[in-house]
Amino acid sequence: MTDNTQPIVIAVTGLNAIDSPGPGVAVIRAIRDGLNRPVRIIGLAYENLEPGIYMDGICDKTYQISYPAAGSEVLYNAIKYIHDIEKIDVLIPNFDAELYNFITIAARLKALGIHSFLPSFDMFDARDKLNLYAFGQKHNLLVPKDKVIYNSNELAQVGDDFGYPLVVKGKYYDAIVAHTLEQAQKAFYKISAKWGLPIIVQQFINGTEVNIAALGDGEGNATSIIPMRKMYITDKGKAWAGITLEDDALIELAQKFVEATQWRGGFEIEIMKTAKDELYIMEINPRFPAWIYLSAGAGQNQPAALVKMALGEKVLPFTTYDVGKLFIRYSWDLIVDISKFQQFTAFGSL
Amino acid sequence: MNRAAQSTQTQKFKPMIKKNIATNEFGFVFNPATGDSFSSNPIAAEIIGLMKVNNSLNEIKKTLLEKYDADKMTIEKDVDDFLQILKENNLLNN
């Protein structure tokens, strides 16, 4: 039985609330708003300028951890070190690139008493950009055609097959729409320099961008589904404003995905809705989106529900949400004393 | 169908705004399925209000003609144009 007077210690990554934000700050806000229990939030940051480290009322303490490239053993040792001090109850990773390591060590962390609510490797791989088209074919879901390439020489052939424009995507992040072979080559080098190979080239679909934030219970049921249309999109393709929608077809699509994968945890489906109302799945992100605080605002607090589910509590599926609820992101200059920056930089915690 | 019968049918036609479309007295129109929102002028808001209480096209035009100082042709054209805009934006059921 959970002691409701003791704070639940929750470790969260993704504190980079920047122009292309990680979801961590939004996840923490939602948990603080909706868990109705005392919490102690432990931030896990990769960089010393992630705003969530310094924002008031977000993290109670933050530790610096190594980049995912350091491997799962380094990550395990870091988390164990932090756990020895903080006694973490629940851990919520929020980056695609770190999830492989966190899934790898999930069982060992559970043995230490650290709960998580993550997909299995099979679930994780099914929606991987590299496998998404095959996944769509298997489950009768619309996914644009794609081609995985390792060499820019392959672009000309893909361009002939798909026609222009086409979309050049990185394995984890970034997507650039290319209207010519030259633009496609430039995008290939730009993205591969940042995220490595392979590169995914995807057929371009014209339509309205709609996203869904959802939470699967790991048994084929969706605990929560919130569809949102991007109202304002930044030059990096990120939603700067969005609005919740009422659309049964979108809800059914998310339910179908959860049923097919038995998804455990939060995820986001990026959809292009065509003029003919076709719903093309462009990407499925294996974690909460940066706009997840809207789920709390609309009446389905997904991060708070995930914490309860990670702790083994039964959470009944949400049945209603507010349609027409908007989020509007904003920038805010945080004034930080050099001593705090120095403390985090020199000692790796604040 | 002869022209007279067609005309009678057109006048009896009841334009129906989709059930889930939210509107208010200030002319704000919100489509929850697409997230689109629109601002309409007071007369357009009045037309939507008349549609919501199940008026036929003929009744809508008659009401406006009685209320405003405009000739029949102008009112009919404006109402028809506005219905076309609603249709193009996927706000009508029929």
In tens, the pLDDT along B72-84 reads: 999 999 999 999 9
- Tokens at residue A89, please? 């109850």
pLDDT the model gives residue A1: 46
Neighbours of B87 (CB within 10 A): 12
Q: How many C-beta atoms lie closer than 10 Å to residue B68's C-beta?
A: 13
Residue A73 phi/psi, 5-degree rounding, is -70, -40
Contact B20 A246 (CB under 8 A): yes
Band (pLDDT 50/70/90 cuts) for residue B93 is confident
Find residues 209-238 of chain A whose CB sits inside 8 Å of chain B: 229, 231
Q: Mean pLDDT over residues A279-300, rounded? A: 96
First to last CA, chain B: 20
Instruction: Give residue B24's pLDDT.
Output: 85
| Mean pLDDT of chain A, nearest integer | 94
| Chain A closest-CA separation from residue B43 CA (Å) | 25
Is B3's pLDDT higher than 80?
A: no
pLDDT the model gives residue A116: 98
Give how far B76 is from chain A: nearest CA, Å.
30
A128: helix, strand or coil: coil
Q: How remote is the C-alpha of B73 from its chain's centroid?
A: 16
- Give the contacts of B5 (CB within 8 A, at least 6 positions apart): none
Domain with CATH 3.30.1490.20 in chain A: 145-203
Domain A145-203's class? alpha beta
For residue B5, pLDDT beyond 60? no
- Contact between chains at B32 and A245 (C-beta distance less than 8 A): yes
How far from each other are the two terminal CA atoms of chain A, in whole angstroms?
Answer: 32
Distance CA B9, CA A169 (A): 54
Please determine, for residue A342, whether its predicted confidence score (pLDDT) is greater than 80: yes
Amino acid B9: pLDDT:
60
**Where does the pLDDT of residue A288 fall: very low under 50, low under 70, confident under 90, or very high at 90 and above?**
very high
Cα distances (Å, whole numbers) of residue B21 to A103, A227, A331, B89:
44, 17, 33, 12
Q: Picking from A3-7, A92-96, A227-231, which range would have the lowest pLDDT averaged per residue?
A: A3-7
Check if the beta carbon of residue B68 is closer than 8 Å to that of residue B75.
Answer: yes
Mean pLDDT to the nearest integer, A147-154: 93
Which overall architecture, per CATH, does domain A8-117+333-347 show? 3-Layer(aba) Sandwich (3.40)
Answer whether A208 sits within 8 Å of B32, measured CB to CB: no
pLDDT, tens digit, 9 for 90 and up, residues A31-69: 999 999 999 999 999 999 999 999 999 999 999 999 999
Whether A249 contacts chain B with CB within 8 A: no
Average pLDDT over residues A113-124: 96
Q: How confident is the model at residue B11 (pLDDT cuts 50, 70, 90)?
A: low
Q: Of the ranges A31-35, A172-176, B3-7, B88-92, which one carries the lowest mean pLDDT score? A: B3-7
For residue B14, what pLDDT is reported? 86
Question: Minimal Cα–Cα distance from A242 to chain B, Å?
Answer: 9
Are A310 and A117 a contacting pair, CB within 8 Å? yes
The pLDDT value recorded for residue A241 is 95
Q: Tell which of B34, B37, B88 to mutate to test the A interface (max A CBs under 10 Å).
A: B34
pLDDT band at B54 (very low <50, low <70, confident <90, very high): confident
pLDDT at residue A15, as a whole number: 97
For chain B, the residue count is 94
Map residue A143 onto helix, strand or coil: coil
CA distance to partner chain A, nearest, from residue B90 (Å) = 11
> What's the pLDDT score for residue A3?
63
Q: Which residues on chain A are in Cβ contact (under 8 Å) with B22?
A: 324
The arithmetic mean of pLDDT across residues A163-176, rounded, is 89
Q: Which residue in A231, A242, A245 is closest to B33 by CB distance?
A: A245
- Judged against a pLDDT cut of 90, whether residue B27 lies above it is answered with no
